[in-house]
Amino acid sequence: MHVSIFGSTVEIDESHIEEPPAVVREQVREYVRGTRRTFDLTVTRPEGVTGDVMATMTDIPYGETRTYGELAATLDTAPVAVGQACGRNPVPIVVPCHRVVGSDGGLRGYSGGDGVATKRRLLEFEQGTTQTRLSTES
């Protein structure tokens, strides 16, 4: 399935999600509106490193990032293996591979939409809505 988000089209492999496409699309719309920070979907992860990396990415909070090296250390693997697994993520946005960055904060790559440009828009959106929420709560 293809979903439009921030001027890009991202492919989500619906065969890895138990819920029907209409539910996935609605949750993506809620994310774009800023009313959803996590996805409430049942995702089937591939076995091996890709599935392990996906599980770890799911734990990265909205508006935050982790480095390839941090995930690699958690999983006892190499940063390049984490990057490759991110590139194989069949459900970008739902499993937030856009929240994984280089050790210097560089965006490196993104398999969804328009690549790094889409990743940048997703991160800026999340960081912007997080900052707005914090300033209104103070």
H or E element, residue 70: helix 68-75
Sketch out the chain's domains with CATH numbers.
2-137 (1.10.10.10)
User: What is the distance of C-alpha 6 from the center of its chain?
Assistant: 14
Closest CA to 31 of 110, 112, 95, 89: 95
The catalytic residue positions are 97
pLDDT the model gives residue 136 = 45
116: CB partners within 8 A, 6+ apart: 107, 108, 109, 110
Q: What is the pLDDT of residue 113?
A: 86
- Please tell me the predicted confidence (pLDDT) of residue 112: 85
- pTM value is 0.90
**E-strand stretches of 50-122:** 66-67, 100-101
Alpha carbons 110 and 112: distance in angstroms, whole number: 6
pLDDT tens string, the chain, 138 residues long: the values are: 999 999 999 999 999 999 999 999 999 999 999 999 999 999 999 999 999 999 999 999 999 999 999 999 999 999 999 999 999 999 999 999 999 999 999 999 898 889 999 999 999 999 987 655 444 454
Confidence at residue 130, expressed as pLDDT on a 0 to 100 scale = 63
